[in-house]
Chains A and B, each alone.
Chain A
Amino acid sequence: MSTTTTPARFVRELRDMCGAEHVIEDPAQLHEGRIAGVAPAVAVEPASADEVAAVLRFANEHGLNVVPAGGFTHQQTGNKPAQVDVLLSTRRLTEVEHYDPGDLTVGVGAGCTVAQLTSMVAKDGLLFAADVAQPQRATLGGALATGMTGPLRHGYGGLRDYCIGIRFVTADGRKGKGGGRVVKNVAGYDMMKLLIGSWGTLAIVTSASFKLFPAPRQTRTFIARFPSSGEALHFRDAVLRSPLSPICLELISPEAGSLLPAIVRQESSSRTEPSEAAPGRDTEACWCVLLRASGSDAVLVRFRSELGSAVPREITDEDERRLWCAIQDFPHTLPEQRPDCVLMSLWLPLTEARTALDGLLSLAKSTGLTLVAIGRVGVGHLLAGLCPTEDSPADLAALSAFRDRLPRDASMRVLYCPEELRAACFRTPTDLASMRAIKHALDPKDILNRGRFVF
């Protein structure tokens, strides 16, 4: 035990801080909150930043290992914790701090789900652009901690581009903030950047403000198909060189296509080419590039003319919506369907997407694994799964070798892998000593997510 406090005593203290009904000791409920198989000793649900601060001050004083938790959509990433003394749920931090549609900004509590925020602003014709996986469960706090976005990353940027303010509590219980409610602000250090993607290791985010965008009035998705990843990326390059600015530009590997609605695999639809009315002509072995356009009829006509014959198919309405939801959920669907897979996320310079995919394909071939990949290839983000086939278990040694061969500017994190293979498959171009020193400045006793991440 890392603590000298008896559980009974700290449970009593936590009840005083958050109210007895918000301190969970029921083993069945705690079992639901296990992380890599480790159930927390207790879970708390503070209702305000002050309560979060009280819990953290107490935990810090007693050296308790605290794991911040939102919707549990990425909680299985990282190393197995030795123990979880306190699981701190942000579930009750859902207050809307400010929202004026005319300002195109909104500020909400970290426990608000992405779906709640998205539908709240959609009523006013606005778009919250972080289309993370499982938006009904994923919280904003979790999205910020993981730095995750989805297919809209291509057209709208990432959280680091549109999170304009953040409130948080440091490990020693200090309430802090960065930025504010306005879209342009350089007062003080940019705490948003430091906390986005910090995986709950520096502080617990309690609320945040975001820039919103006018929602597209209509969209179309154009589907282009290629026999190889090289040709698909060649098409990507042509799109990036063109005057077109799609809101999504997504690469889908052949095996990833099988996790998506069938429409992505069919060569043509009855709508665009009535003569080929027999759908279901699946050509599984195709790489697809999906290009989602928004704009007026005239803009869509222009997309068609620029893309020409390279893009035989387009979809809209419900088909389109279902397809993008499936792509958005890929980081969830793949591990759910293939619990034996390894799922990694890579950020690459654009030209290195080709090298990385070739590397992954040859890795898959040499180890007998199947590559299942999608990616926002227009911004250099790949989500790549490696699935064992019969008699070829995932080979982490081969994976580390692949990681070590990545170009200097690339970074990578394993988002999911089976428990028996759990390893810190991580790579960054950023100075690690600086990261560790920052961790120490905000969490000197290492109470936040202890041991789960290399920084």
Chain B
Amino acid sequence: MGLPQLISALRKIVGDDAVLDRPEDLMLYEYDAGIRKSTPGVVVFPQTAQHVSQVMRVASDAGIPVVARGAGTGLSAGAISHAGGIVIAFSRMNRVLEVDAGNLRAVVQPGVVNIQLSEYVSHLGLYYAPDPSSQKACTIGGNVAENSGGPHTLLHGVTVNHVTGVEVVLPSGEIVQFGGKAAESYGYDLTGFFVGSEGTIGIATAITVKLLRKPESVATLLAIFESVDDAACTVSEITAEGITPAALEMLDGWTLRTVEEFCHAGYPLDAGAVLLIELEGLREAVEEEAVAVKQVCLRQKAREVRRAKDEEERALLWKGRKTAFAALGRVSPAYYTQDGVVPRSKIPTVLQHIGEVAKQQDLIIGNVFHAGDGNLHPLILFDSRHPDQLERVMAASRDILQYCIDAGGSITGEHGVGLEKLDAMPLLFTEDDISIMTDLRNVFNGDELLNPGKLLPTPRMCREIAGRSRNAVLAQEGL
């Protein structure tokens, strides 16, 4: 099947106005929020699971790779198309299918924007907890694919801790259900396995998520430190106090000055670093913890600890944090974001190391990150017009990741592997680890029709595909 036939087959499924194939339209779908690009052959906008299923069958017949795409805010090229491939864009599957307040669940289509779900259920006193910084744009489907985090995942967990069921279209076109509204389900936890599989197993078409009750009380503190080191040492001291904040974020001095000029959040311009600490829960508990956290910060040489007086001040402090990446766009033509993780007691040393790497490579590296769970986001600034800079950026990046791994950490805490960290996977996983994961992918996606070349590096040795595919099992058992 050639591209024109494919496009006409897709138009028959979803309608003429739901397929894009003009070069100027396709250009809009060639990138995500990272630094890679690749132009798809066609973009299709399904409206139902049946549409997705039919598109998968057509793609399978034509042997053309498919990638699902939400808002394109990913940072690891997870939603970047195979050149000439099919992009299934979910902007027309953006309905909240059901709010089941009694069961504290919602069932949503993958194209629902993260923050819109919380807004949608706000009148019930409920919200959806995972809150990536891109939550005003990113979709729940994309969050599920990447197992996204966010500042408030310190207390509440990442996306996988909030998804109890998924309806999935497999590469075969079959529509299957994993899990449901119950908190857990007997049988293999395929829901949990699916979340974070980066679109390499199937495409979610309906997602059952937990809704949480809004906390009675929230305290947002800004602790101001003279040095990055003092702030970094405070992080594990807070948890040692027996307190688990809802969020515990850090911005270094360079980043907070850049952010402050952009959004006037009220950050001190002369500080070495700040911690943004949020506590939530029962009023009495929050008040006690706020006092305790302030004492810990002051003991760790904080210059000052401010507390947001009202919702407006709180929103402003968070605006600074959540728009940090955007603010950097004003001072640098490009930046590369890292996502390494270290045990939280290693934060002081890893930050020192990042400082040394910046000096060695003559680069500016800002740090704004989820300190509470050790998830770093060094932002390495560069100008892509100077190829040597990009080389130094990549060298710095490899150095930092290796440091994270040596410290007992990981290459990615929430952005995913995608294409971007494929090379780093063997630093973390053995050939057997990867071959087991590849066997599991092949159960569903043996022909790599879905998101080929992502997440799992191709093993050096050419291994025979072990195990039968799901469909072969079905055929044998006459199901």
Contact = CB atoms under 8 A, between A and B. Distances in A.
Interface in B216-234: 216-217
A198 B192 CA distance: 13
Contacts of B456: 188
Given A190-B195, A245-B282, A158 B184 contact: yes
Interface string A170-199: 101011111011111111111111101110
Nearest to B147: A186
A347 B417 contact: no
Given A177-B433, A349-B103, A351-B102, A411 B185 contact: yes
Contacts of A217: 242
Contacts of A161: 157, 161
A382 to B, nearest CB: 11
Nearest to A435: B188
B361 interface: no
A1 B236 CA distance: 57
A105 interface: yes
A412 B184 CA distance: 10
A241 interface: yes
Contacts of B409: 180-182
A47 interface: no
A274 interface: no
Given A103-B344, A188-B428, A409-B182, A433 B284 contact: no
B387 interface: no
B97 to A, nearest CB: 14
A352 B105 CA distance: 13
Given A245-B281, A350-B103, A193 B242 contact: no
Nearest to B188: A435
Given A98-B408, A442-B436, A185 B186 contact: no
A102 B414 contact: no
A375 to B, nearest CB: 12
Interface stretch (A80-88, A276-284, A295-303, A309-317): A295-303
Given A189-B193, A193-B193, A441-B439, A410 B178 contact: no
Contacts of B24: none
A440 B467 contact: yes
B236 to A, nearest CB: 5
B461 interface: no
Contacts of A187: 410-412, 417, 421, 425, 428-429
Contacts of A322: none
A424 B181 CA distance: 23
A198 B188 contact: yes
A242 to B, nearest CB: 9
Contact of B468 (A98, A350, A437): A437
A243 B282 contact: yes
Contact of A434 (B103, B192, B443): B443
A27 interface: no
A404 to B, nearest CB: 15
A380 B183 contact: yes
B312 interface: no
A197 B186 contact: yes
Interface centre among B153, B217, B411 (most CB of A within 10 A): B411
Given A182-B408, A214-B243, A157 B185 contact: no
Interface centre among A172, A186, A409, A412 (most CB of B within 10 A): A186
B104 interface: yes
Interface stretch (B11-19, B36-44, B79-87, B470-478): B470-478
Nearest to A413: B186
B341 A185 contact: yes
B149 interface: yes
Contact of A243 (B161, B191, B216): B216
B432 interface: yes
Given A181-B343, A437-B467, A438-B188, A186 B408 contact: no
B177 A430 contact: yes
A189 B445 CA distance: 14
B442 interface: yes
B186 to A, nearest CB: 4
A100 B183 contact: no
A125 interface: yes
A437 B470 contact: yes
Contacts of A103: 236, 343-345, 374
A444 interface: yes
A182 B102 CA distance: 34
Interface string B53-88: 000000000000000000000000000000000000
B408 A181 contact: yes
A408 interface: yes
Interface string A121-153: 000010000000000000000000001000000
Interface in B87-130: 100, 102-105
B473 A176 contact: no
A441 B183 CA distance: 27
Contact of A184 (B180, B191, B370, B455): B370
A184 B158 contact: yes
B467 A347 contact: no
Nearest to B411: A187
17 contacts: A101-B240, A160-B160, A176-B432, A177-B430, A182-B341, A183-B373, A184-B374, A186-B417, A193-B189, A198-B188, A243-B281, A349-B100, A429-B177, A432-B187, A433-B176, A434-B176, A440-B473
Given A182-B410, A411-B187, A440-B468, 4 more contacts: A302-B282, A381-B183, A428-B186, A440-B467
Instruction: Identify the 9 closest CB pairs spanning chains A and B, nearest first.
Output: A193-B192, A409-B180, A441-B467, A428-B187, A437-B470, A214-B242, A243-B216, A431-B176, A349-B181
